[in-house]
Structure 1
Amino acid sequence: MKVSISTDKGKMDIGLIHEYLSKQSYWAKGRSYDLVEKSMANSLCFGAFDENDKQIGFARIATDYVVFAWLMDVFVVDDCKGKGIGKQLLQAILEHPNLTPVNGIGLRTEDAHDFYASFGFEEIPKPNTWMLKTKS
């Protein structure tokens, strides 16, 4: 299925994005609409749209545009999975001119290692060198 990919936040269906993230994703269950809106405002967002311009996928990047980028909130709506949309979305992200200078793109996944590996992502070779502080 051929889709169009856009970074125009004005085209993004925030209701659909919030619905998927807060109710269907394992990583953002319960995330409020306001948090979704704020996270999008502070990220480079990518939307996948079908031939009728209906949003069917989403991803966002937090980055300094030089050293590092973090890929987050990647999804394709359930009835469009398995049609290559995720591949088109990730390819558009990796080829985006504002991201090509970035030295590394990181992400976290529980269930899509093979998908990301097919694009050159690797498990962190020295995970003990990474640290994380979370809110308690």
Structure 2
Amino acid sequence: MHIVNQLTQSQFNEVHTFLSQRSYWSKGISKEKLQTAIENSLCFALVQNNQLIAFARVVTDQSTFANLLDVFVLEPFRGVGHAKQLLDAVVTHPKLQGLRRFSLATHDAHTLYQQFGFDSVKAPQYLMERLAQSSFTRQHS
């Protein structure tokens, strides 16, 4: 098993299927939007014999900040440490060292991320967001 930073077309299709159909955070994302997101991110894929096992991407300026996104392990491969292997590759990547802020949002994996140094936001009153909940499913004319 190893980490790759480029996806094959088959692996991209698996990432898209998971995110667009089974994730709670990217349901409905189009292939075009995902391709643009991947092209503008530092991506990590755990693969074995060309089979996608897990995926994560990081949006970063590689100097001061990073945001971890789209982290998942495919269902047949869960529960055996693949998420930890993937996250270790992310947090130790040379381009992600010395950052002032490394953030993420999670609904249910707080305990996992805490093992890699992530914690609750210390001053949430300073954070703001502009959120378009239906951005992936909005109809365009």
Q: Shared fold (TM-score greater than 0.5)?
A: yes
Equivalence map 1:1-136=2 (5 Å): 3-10=1-8, 13-50=11-48, 52-135=49-132
Q: What residue ranges of structure 2 are gaps of 5+ in the alignment? A: 134-141
Quick one: distance in 2 between partners of 1:33 and 1:86?
24
Q: Deviations over 1:48-84 (max 9, x none)?
A: 012x221111000000111100000000000000010
Percent sequence identity is 38
Cα offsets for 1:86-117 (capped at 9, x unmatched)? 00000001111111132221000000001101
1:12, 1:47 within 8 Å by CA — same for their partners in 2?
no
Q: Amino acid of the residue matched to residue 15 of structure 2?
A: I
Q: CA deviation at 1:134?
A: 2.4
Counterparts in 2 of 1:98 and 1:10: CA distance versus 1, 3 Å: farther
Asked if the contact 1:46/1:60 (under 8 Å) is kept, the reply is yes
**Displacement of 1:6 after TM fit?**
1.3
SS at the partner of 1:36? helix
Q: 3-state SS of the aligned residue for 2:99?
A: coil
For 1:90 and 1:11, the matched residues in 2 are separated by 23
**Cα distance in 1, alignment partners of residues 99 and 4 from structure 2:** 20
Report if aligned partners of 1:17, 1:58 keep a CA contact under 8 Å in 2: yes
Rate the CA distance shift 1:107–1:115 in 2: closer, same or farther, 3 A: same
Letter in 1 for 2:28: G
How far has the Cα of 1:35 moved from its partner? 0.8
- Matched letter for residue 118 of structure 1: Q
Matches of 2:94 and 2:10, distance apart in 1? 20
Count of matched residue positions in the alignment of Structure 1 and Structure 2: 133
Q: What is the rounded CA distance, in whole Å, between the counterparts of 1:12 and 1:112 in structure 2?
A: 27
